[in-house]
Amino acid sequence: MEMLRVAPSYPRLDDLKQRAQASGPVRVGVVYPCETGALAATIAASDLGFIDPVLIGPGALIRRIAAENGLDLGKLMIIEADDPLDAARRGVALAGAGEVGALMKGSLHTDELLGAVVARDSPLRMGRRTSHVFWFDCPAYHKPLMLTDAVVNIAPGLMEKADIVRNAIDLAHRLGNPKPKVAILAAVETVNPALPSTIDAASLCKMADRGQITGAVLDGPLGFDNAVSLTSATTKGIISLVAGEPDILVVPNLDAGNSLYKSLVYLGGAACAGLVLGARVPIILTSRADSVQARVASCALAALAASPRPN
């Protein structure tokens, strides 16, 4: 007998979108939107009031894609760029000049856009490692949950992880959480020299104790089970201010992060949004496999991330 699947509701995602609408649209440079999904999501996010898009790419091609798919560009501005690399450079220049408050990946490759963002002469460099943060509305978890880094940094070292943590904390602050709880994940919850991830986790927590990382409560190493479940932590005798209540999960490497992200979405039924942080403007880095809902949610997240930090 086939089981009836009930689509989950996402009240926290709805709240995120409402807050983004209330904050007003951020002007976004959409870099090389020469694919139907990217263009449709851009128009949908614009219609919802999350973004004020500026399309950067070959105008004739963009208009043809829109016409073939029944997409109304209306009065959207198009800035001509011959190819993906030219579009990425023009987008970075616009952001550096303050003409757009965020960038959004269209149909170019991720490394083409991020390469322009972090180039030696880029006006968007801040002296901090760029990293990606996913924001989730998980039906099985009692509040929004962030995960970092599952996209950009493959095998970060300690100091790179410190920046990854700082970027996620900054986003939590902009979303209105003044003291997020951060779980530094590893395979086990005890420090083991044979597992470098546990050494890094303990070091990050000590950096927080010494004021090198501020604005959050950190704990680690924590296994995923005792990070998200107070019952699991109590069973193992772990006394922690973070266990069962994390706002941010920090993974040891991209393999772990990417697997966890896909598990939450495809098995856990989570809705998500994502941004690249650590540059002077947030970057909406979507995948061709992302749904229009995920792309639009990322635009809402960018609108809040680009807004002035709450007092």
Which tens digits make up the pLDDT trace of 240-266? 999 999 999 999 999 999 999 999 999
Q: What percent of the chain has pLDDT over 90?
A: 88
The reply to whether 117 falls in a domain is yes
The reply to whether 42 falls in a domain is yes
Range in 8-17, 79-88, 212-221 the model is least confident about? 8-17
The reply to whether 3 falls in a domain is no
Do 109 and 155 lie in one domain? The reply is no
Do 168 and 266 lie in one domain? The reply is yes
Residue-level pLDDT at 245: 96
Asked if residue 85 lies in contact with residue 112, where contact means CB atoms within 8 angstroms, the answer is yes
Do 119 and 257 lie in one domain? The reply is no
Do 176 and 240 lie in one domain? The reply is yes
Residue-level pLDDT at 293: 82
The number of domains in the chain is: 2
Do 34 and 99 lie in one domain? The reply is yes
For the chain, give the secondary structure using H, E and C: CCCCCCCCCCHHHHHHHHHHHHHCCEEEEEECCCCHHHHHHHHHHHHCCCEEEEEEECHHHHHHHHHHCCCCCCCCEEEECCCHHHHHHHHHHHHHCCCCCEEEECCCCHHHHHHHHCCCCCCCCCCCCCEEEEEEECCCCCCCEEEECCCCCCCCCHHHHHHHHHHHHHHHHHCCCCCCEEEEECCCCCCCCCCHHHHHHHHHHHHHHCCCCCCCEEEEEECHHHHHCHHHHHHCCCCCCCCCCCCEEECCCHHHHHHHHHHHHHCCCCEEEEEEECCCCCEECCCCCCCHHHHHHHHHHHHHHCCCCCC
What is the average pLDDT across 165-173? 97
Domain of 185, CATH number, reads 3.40.718.10
The larger pLDDT score, comparing residue 223 to residue 10, is at: 223
pLDDT for 235 beyond 90? yes
Do 34 and 142 lie in one domain? The reply is no
Domain of 288, CATH number, reads 3.40.50.10950
Convert the pLDDT of each residue in 106-118 to its tens digit.
999 999 999 999 9
Residue-level pLDDT at 17: 93
Measuring CA to CA, how many Å separate 286 from each of 8, 105, 219?
22, 6, 30
Do 133 and 192 lie in one domain? The reply is yes
Residue 64 sits at the vertex; the CA angle it makes with 63 and 69, to the nearest 5 degrees, is 100
pLDDT for 308 beyond 70? no
pLDDT for 2 beyond 60? no
pLDDT for 59 beyond 70? yes
Do 248 and 134 lie in one domain? The reply is yes
The reply to whether 2 falls in a domain is no
Task: Please give the residue range of the domain that contains residue 62.
Answer: 24-125+279-311
Do 202 and 269 lie in one domain? The reply is yes
Do 134 and 272 lie in one domain? The reply is yes
d(CA 175, CA 237): 33
| 257: its two tokens | 């992060």
The reply to whether 13 falls in a domain is no
